[in-house]
Structure 1
Amino acid sequence: MLVTLAQRPDLAEATYAIPYPPDSPEFMAGSLPSLLVRGRRVARRWPHLVVALLDGGRPVARGVMVPFRGRGSLPARGWDEVAVWAAEDALDDVTPDTACALEIAVHPDHQSRGHSRTVLEAMREAVAAAGLGALVIPVRPPGKAAVPEMPMRDYAAETRADGLPADRWLRTHVRAGGRIGAVAPCSATVQAPLAEWRRWTGLAFDRDGVVVVPGALAPVFVSAAGDFAVYVEPNVWVVHRVGGF
């Protein structure tokens, strides 16, 4: 069963309690723009754009979106910039015309059952019901972590013999009717002192240069002298039309 938090506000806590997989990168918690769209804020302001998949009455997967007014082309600063746009538009009472998916999360005990596709389709329906014209997603292809130094543009362009994207998650979106758009080369940025990076990763971070961090889609830039490191993550914009398309 699929519901939105507007229909079942009592499920907000359980929906956001769905854990990420154990190997999810901890360092993404250092994204400052993500503080603008924390779970409780989104659930309170845009409950109709939070979708929960229920199994036995309990949420096992979620899809979280925020609305914004398009500014022309999709931003190179991807996830971060749309999070700021959504917050700006809410503060300025700007009428949105587009929804951006912030995440699709499936409980680790319920993986490999097609839940991501099910939630994605429910998100499109929720966007249409809200009167918005499109759902855009700065997709984070997890397989890219295996080739962190490969340009995202090249990675996203790789296809199988049947013409579908080689990446599993991009392939899911295309099969669901999504169109791969531009690469967002600096979609999510994490900057933090080296002590935090050591805590997140268990790595030394003791010299200047780049460090390949497990789970990262690109290398992390380190300044040992400055006592900080910066991670700039590329994503891939995917556009889903809604409302009768």
Structure 2
Amino acid sequence: MTAIMITPLSRRPELAGRLWDMEDSWPEFAAQDPLGSFLYPRMVAEFPDYVWVATDGDAVVARGFSVPFALHAGERAGRLPAHGWDRVLLWAFSDQRLGIRPDTVGAIEISIATGRQGEGLSGRMLAAMREGARAAGFAELVAPVRPSGKPAEPDAPMAEYAYRTREDGLPYDPWLRVHVRAGAVIDSVAPLSMTIGGTLAQWREWTGLPFDTAGPVRVPGALAPVHCEPERDFAVYVEPNVWVRHRLDGAEAGR
């Protein structure tokens, strides 16, 4: 049996073209976020120290994306934004362009290959991302978490679901539980973390659903209902996420 190797992409640049080779569990509509479509290639090209890849022999079995940005600069003042996922990506590339020194790492995605879930890879990828940020001198890693159990309860308010706990006090949600066990604390809800709009024909193609009735449409894999307006030939999905903060004690150098 081969050992799983987890490294930043900067150490294995030959894997850049294979990051999307692995089959994952993301629903098709989630890949239609226009900001992500534009900036994912730039993360690979411009932030390879913050892109993580796990291999088992020759197979890519997990990938992770993160970006450095300035959370504590100016008007941001350490407050995590309501427009979570999208806003962190915008801040990271805006800060880079303006020469603003980053002070925080934002986790963007950790994905595990289909058939490899349940092996603890998500926790190992998170640990690698945390350690990479700590070794680079950052004192904090933050993540707009997409709770893995939330698609089963699309109508549950995220503000309630995010803080739901088990009898042992740990989060009810499995992915939030991984973060908290790793040392994170739940900070807040990002109600406008990602926005995906499209024509009804596009949503039918992405989901296989009819999208012919006005109002909320429950889509497999969505954390909240999609709002459908047939008279305008339009539907929009606004995804809520959960902000978590990881303090990284013992950073090697101040940022």
Matches within 5 A, 1:131-170: 131-170=137-176
Match of 2:23 in 1: 19
Provide the rounded CA distance (Å) in 2 between the counterparts of 1:130 and 1:37: 22
CA contact (8 A) 2:31 2:37 kept: no
Structure 2 contact 66–107 (Cα < 8 Å) conserved: yes
Q: Give the partner amino acid of 1:242.
A: L
Identity %: 50
Question: 1:113 matched to which residue of 2?
Answer: 119
Distance, in Å, in 1 between the alignment partners of 2:37 and 2:249 is 30
Cα offsets for 1:41-92 (capped at 9, x unmatched) = 1121111101112212543111110111112200011001111111211222
1:109 is paired with a residue whose SS is coil
TM-score, normalisation: structure 2: 0.91
SS at match of 2:110: strand
Segments of 4+ moved more than 4 angstroms: none
Please report the TM-score for the alignment, with normalisation by the length of structure 1. Answer: 0.94
Equivalent residue in structure 2 for 1:30, among 32, 35, 60: 32
Aligned residue number for residue 9 of structure 1: 13
1:18–1:243: structure 2 CA closer, same or farther, 3 Å change rule?
Answer: farther
Which moves more between the two structures, 108-117 or 53-62? 53-62
Structure 2 residues without counterparts, runs of 5 or longer: none
In structure 2, how many angstroms separate the alpha carbons of the residues matched to 1:241 and 1:162? 22
Separation in structure 2 between the aligned mates of residue 219 and residue 36 of structure 1, nearest angstrom: 25
Could you list the runs of 5+ residues in structure 1 that have no partner in the other structure? none
Deviation at 1:123, TM superposition (A): 0.3
CA distance in 2, matches of 1:58, 1:118: 17
Aligned residue for 1:170, secondary structure, equals helix
Measure how far apart 1:243 and its partner are: 4.3
Give the SS at the match of 1:6.
helix
What is the root-mean-square deviation of aligned Cα atoms in Å?
1.4
Give the partner amino acid of 1:52: V
Residues 15 and 60, structure 1, Cα contact 8 Å, conserved in 2? no
For residue 220 of structure 2, the aligned residue among 214, 221, 226 is 214
* Deviation digits for residues 158-213 of structure 1 (CA, Å, limit 9, x no counterpart): 11110001111111110111111100011111011111001011111112211111
Aligned residues: 242
